[in-house]
Chain A
Amino acid sequence: MHLYSEQRGDYLLIRAAGDRIDAAGAIQFKDAMRELTQTADARVLLDMSKVAFLDSSGLGAVIAAMKAIGPGRKLELSGLTPTVEKVFRLTRMDSVFTIHASLPESQSEGLRNAV
């Protein structure tokens, strides 16, 4: 799972480039998220529009990533594909995360970091 990050106005945008966050990739995802978010601003937005599949290990990794960025900061999600949305909805995690249908409009400042 490759993650790409860029600064967009007042938030850090992280794009998940792989098509799945599953048991085989959950730890790698968690580690890469931690690395990208350790110096980030208050808002972190994870774009999941390329992620077609997420299992419970992947869900756990997204939750762990939110906890790791700390109580004073927020992990928001964007572009959930239907199967991923189903996992969030059934487990009621859609009530815990702020979920955007698509990326907010903002001026891109280009790639800042990549893991």
Chain B
Amino acid sequence: MQFEPASTIKPDLDETAMQHQACLTIQGDILAVRDGLGLLMSMKPLRALSDEIRGTVAIVLAEALNNVVEHAYRDGPGQIRICVDHLAPVLRVSVYDQGLPMPNEQLPQGLLKPLVEGEELPEGGFGWFLIRTLTMDLAYERHGNLNHLCFEVQA
């Protein structure tokens, strides 16, 4: 799969698909992630959903996209493509990138570190926990040089 060239953010404008699907290609950096999330939330089908569902999708997508920026593209820049399909009663979300594969081509377990009285509080390690907690049917596949993460959120 090849990404279309995009300067920063490029929403797809397929009129027939727009009612149920939103796709976006962004640069793999943290500012583009912030802007891209904002744009995605304003597109159909997301803008029609409740604030609670939109908040959940925003948390999960932010974690997934920042993970791509931090890890998959840690050796060099690239693009990220995000597609959201509203297939009632769920939203199906796909995230594609052409960066490094997940270690062992496996998703992290995302276990929350136990909070122990008197011990230093963790400042990280929440991302995959949040993704796993807030999604259903989470899956990761490596196809050639492409990473594909997909999951569903109750809509």
Contacts and interface: CB of A to CB of B under 8 A. Distances in A.
Given A53-B58, A60-B124, A83-B59, A91 B129 contact: yes
Interface in B27-63: 30-31, 33-34, 51-52, 55-56, 58-59, 62-63
Interface residues of A, number: 24
Nearest to B61: A55
Contact of A56 (B30, B58, B124): B124
Given A23-B30, A24-B30, A90-B130, A95 B123 contact: no
A24 B34 contact: yes
Nearest to A24: B30
Q: Is the interface of A mostly helix, strand, loop or mixed?
A: helix
B133 interface: yes
A3 interface: no
Interface string A27-52: 00000000000000000000000000
A64 B123 CA distance: 6
B55 A53 contact: yes
Interface of A: 20, 22-24, 53, 55-57, 59-61, 63-64, 66-67, 82-83, 86-87, 90-92, 95-96
